Structure 1
Amino acid sequence: MATSTILSLPPTPLHHHPSTLKTPKLTLIKATSQPTTLPQPLSITTRTNSWQWKFNSTPIKIHFEQLQKEPKNESNKGSSSYLKNVLLVPTISDVSTVEEWRKVAELIVGRGGEQGEVGYKATIVDWPGLGYSHRPKLEYNADVMEKFLVDFVNSPDSPISSSANDVVIFGGGHAATIAVRATGKGLVKPTAIAAVAPTWAGPLPIVFGRDTNMESRYGLLRGTLRAPAVGWMMYSMLVSNEKAITSQYKSHVYADPENVTPSIIESRYALTKQTGARYVPAAFLTGLLDPVTSREEFVNLFANLDLDTPVLVMATAGSPRRSKAEMEALREAKGVSKYIEVPGALLPQEEYPEIVAEELYKFLQENLASGA
């Protein structure tokens, strides 16, 4: 089936292009690309494992990685005041992966705990149906993803269950917005949130809109992508090929095309070849993973947060025009305690990890250094 029989599309993005209330708490900062003071991490233990999440009786193997630096002082081991827990959640996209957060996690964990500072334990987790997690044929939507995040934080057998009420959440893109939505509902209670290049609209809705005619076309495309045989053909044509991945990374996922290396493309291409790889992208591309449907709802998610919860919004200087407009709508939004701009586009945590880690570490120190 030709693409044009369903929807006239430009090359499909792997990451999307996506009443403001005032608050006196807002801090505006523009980060630069100057070298940071974060040292290279030393003696960090990384544990890779899986956790079984059950959704509607379907067991799903979830991939996660945990990083921790052992304290030099034996008396600090096991002290709740020594280690603070940080959960890092990848940007939702066709090629979403824990890899995007690894360097940032290493830098933060490697820095913490020195000279009496608070130390940090980092957990990076892949979404169900993405990254290195299993990819069953579910009816994926924003509610499913929110349920997963809530369960991962709160379930008694979760890898971070002991820190459910003492965890900071860092999320990129849609992941950040889903985390904010869950927090606003009281389903998770992080001690702080950082939204890195936050987005809310999938690739097609942000370009073509959401009228009845377009929603019908999205449904047809989604059904085709999920179908046997023809779904793989369509997915390979739109997403699962190295040329398409390279084009999207160089055009809007990264700000500097020179930073897109062959190893990155190879890694992302391999993810698109896993069994079931097309199911979540079928939902993401057509807007089913969008946590809200308008900018007003997006801003209100942040405005509805408890003002005692510190919230950092990290916008990017090189984001696609539509996505940047959504980020900038949060510049003076109620509920946002700190707004900064860093280099990068839709994946700054991977393209400029030193700069992102430096700003996130400052945010942690400003809000958690006292052990709050």
Structure 2
Amino acid sequence: MANPVPTTRTLDLTVAGWRVPTPCDVIGEGPEALLLPALSSISARAEMRPLARELSGSHRCLVPDWPGFGAHDRVRVPLEPATFHAFLDALIAAAPGPYALGIAAGHAAGYLVAAARRHPQAFGRLVLVAPTWRGPLPTAMGAGRADWFGRIRRAVEMPVVGEALYRANISRPVIGRMMRAHVFADPAHVTPELIAAKHGITRQRGGRFGTAAFVTGGLDPVGSREAFLDLFGSDLPPVQVLRSEGAPRRSGAEMDALCASGRVVATRIPGALSPHEEFSRETAAAIRGV
């Protein structure tokens, strides 16, 4: 299937009492696969399209946006882990699969694994691409400044002042530096066109709320490495971790701890924190075992 074009399906979900219309890409033919994009300031389902296209010859891929993220106006919902767990429950109820593959990138990993434990018949296999569990500020500065992270989040969420703070810190130059520093492994892949597309995601109405929650650790699915590893029990389907070779040091150490736990099968792939987007062909080959 050469360069297939995704169609868009909107799931009208109710999440913890909130109506959350959820646009999804649908692409490919074959057994069902659910692909969850990473959570970040530039999170959108478009980042999973290169990987979905690579898998489209063997799987029918469903790629949703997370609540509060994506290249569209965001519905205001409580941005906390309970909302994201409830979102996956609602999504699986509306589109039950069953899924031969559940694929999650970055921070989506913990949420997918937890969903697989709650829905033991929903997934045949899980693939975690460069999995993370801790937001950028806690990763860089440690958990001891949680009160300060909360103040930052509240400041960005404020009317007027918060929007100004957000726009000053999510400009095109800032996005370019961020992507070259730890999102993509090859700086040459961070083109002006890509930066413009990512900047467009951040300019969506309500964009600052998801960013503030994620960056400050407010969307961390667990609070420690031990709690993250404890998610991987014997009640799960087979789990493959794709450990990106160029991941930042601290995030890479968490991936290595999971790979060394004996609870997953580990495969090394090129890339940094977004190998599914930057090296989609290699990522798909690792998923297929080629």
Q: Scaled by the length of structure 2, what TM-score is found? A: 0.94
CA distance in structure 2 between the aligned counterparts of 1:43 and 1:222, rounded to whole angstroms: 40
1:345 aligns with 2:284: no
Paired residue total: 290
**Is residue 127–residue 133 contact of structure 1 (8 Å, CA) maintained in 2?**
no
Query: Could you say which residue in structure 1 is the equivalent of 2:261?
Result: 333
Residues 153-168 of structure 1 mapped to structure 2, 5 A cutoff: 153=92, 155=93, 158=94, 160-161=95-96, 163=97, 165-168=98-101
Give the conservation status (yes or no) of the 8 Å contact 2:138–2:216: yes
> Which of 238, 246, 255 is the equivalent residue of 1:310?
238
Corresponding position of 1:31: none
Q: Could you tell me the TM-score, scaled by structure 1's length? A: 0.74
**Secondary structure of the structure 2 residue equivalent to 1:278:** helix
For residue 60 of structure 2, give the secondary structure of its aligned residue in structure 1.
Answer: strand
Q: Is this contact kept in 2: 1:44–1:106, CA < 8 A?
A: yes
Larger RCO, structure (CA 8 Å, separation 6 or more) = 1
Alignment deviations for residues 352-372 of structure 1 (CA, whole Å, 9 cap, x no partner): 111001111228xxxxxxxxx
Residue 168 of structure 2 corresponds to 237
Aligned with 1:261 (options 170, 191, 196):
191
Q: Which has the higher helix share?
A: 2
Q: In structure 2, which of residues 179, 199, 216 is the aligned counterpart of residue 249 of structure 1? A: 179
Which residue of 95, 105, 124 corresponds with 2:42?
A: 95
1:321 corresponding residue in structure 2: 249
Q: Are the counterparts in 2 of residues 60 and 134 from structure 1 also a CA contact under 8 Å?
A: no
- 1:56 Cα offset (Å): 3.9
The 5 Å alignment of 1:197-212 reads: 197-211=130-144
Matched, 1:225 2:156: yes
How far is 1:231 from its partner? 0.9
Q: 2:281 is matched with which residue? A: 354
Over 3 Å counting, the alpha-carbon distance change for 1:305 and 1:184 in structure 2 is farther
Tell me, which stretches of 5 or more residues in structure 1 are unaligned? 1-40, 70-82, 113-119, 364-372
Correspondence for 1:138: 77
- Helix, strand or coil at the partner of 2:6: strand
Residues 199, 131 of structure 1: CA spacing in aligned structure 2 closer, same or farther, 3 A cutoff?
A: same
Q: State the partner residue of 2:11.
A: 51
TM-fit CA distance, 1:167: 4.0
Listed as ranges, the matches of 1:33-52 within 5 Å are 41-42=1-2, 44=4, 46-52=6-12
Cα RMSD over matched residues? 1.8
1:274 to 199, 204, 211: 204
Task: Call closer, same or farther: CA 1:227–1:167 in 2, change over 3 Å.
Answer: farther
Amino acid at match of 1:306: D
Change (3 A) 1:170 1:349: same
Q: Percent identity?
A: 32
Task: Give distance in 2, aligned partners of 1:250 and 1:55.
Answer: 35
Closer, same or farther: CA 68–222 of 1 in aligned 2, 3 Å = same
Structure 1: which amino acid aligns with 2:158?
A
2:247 aligned with 1:287:
no
2:64 aligns with one of 105, 125, 134: 125
Change in CA separation of 1:45 and 1:269 when aligned onto 2, cut-off 3 Å: closer
Query: Aligned partners of 1:280, 1:256: CA distance in 2, in Å?
Result: 27
How far 1:84 moved relative to its partner?
A: 0.9
Paired with 2:205 and 2:5, the residues of 1 have a C-alpha distance of 30
Query: 8 Å contact 2:34–2:99 — kept in the other structure?
Result: no
2: CA distance, partners of 1:99 / 1:232: 24
1:150 aligns with 2:150: no
Query: Structure 2 CA distance, aligned partners of 1:148 and 1:91?
Result: 15
Question: How big is each residue's C-alpha offset from its partner over 1:265-297, in whole Å with a ceiling of 9 and x where there is no partner?
Answer: 111101111111111111111111101111111
Shift, 1:139, TM fit: 2.3
Structure 1 pair 188–201 and aligned structure 2 pair: CA distance change class (3 A) = farther
Aligned residue for 2:143, secondary structure, equals coil
User: Unpaired runs of 5+ in structure 2?
Assistant: none
**For 2:21, which of 58, 61, 73 is the aligned residue?**
61
What is the CA–CA distance in structure 2 between the aligned matches of 1:358 and 1:61, rounded to whole Å? 33
Tell me, in whole angstroms, the C-alpha distance in 1 between the residues paired with 2:72 and 2:35.
Answer: 15
Provide the rounded CA distance (Å) in 1 between the counterparts of 2:284 and 2:211.
Answer: 28
| Letter of the structure 1 residue corresponding to residue 267 of structure 2 | I
- Deviates further, 90-99 or 214-223: 214-223
Kindly state the Cα deviation for residue 201 of structure 1 after the two structures are TM-superposed: 0.3
* Mean CA deviation greater in 133-142 or 258-267: 133-142
Residue-by-residue CA offset, 1:199-247 (whole Å, 9 max, x unaligned): 0000111122222xx22211111111111101101101222x1010000
Query: Any idea what SS the aligned residue of 2:101 has?
Result: strand
Q: Which residue in the other structure is 2:54 paired with? A: 107
Contact 1:174 1:200 in 2 (8 A): yes
- Kindly state the Cα deviation for residue 189 of structure 1 after the two structures are TM-superposed: 3.2
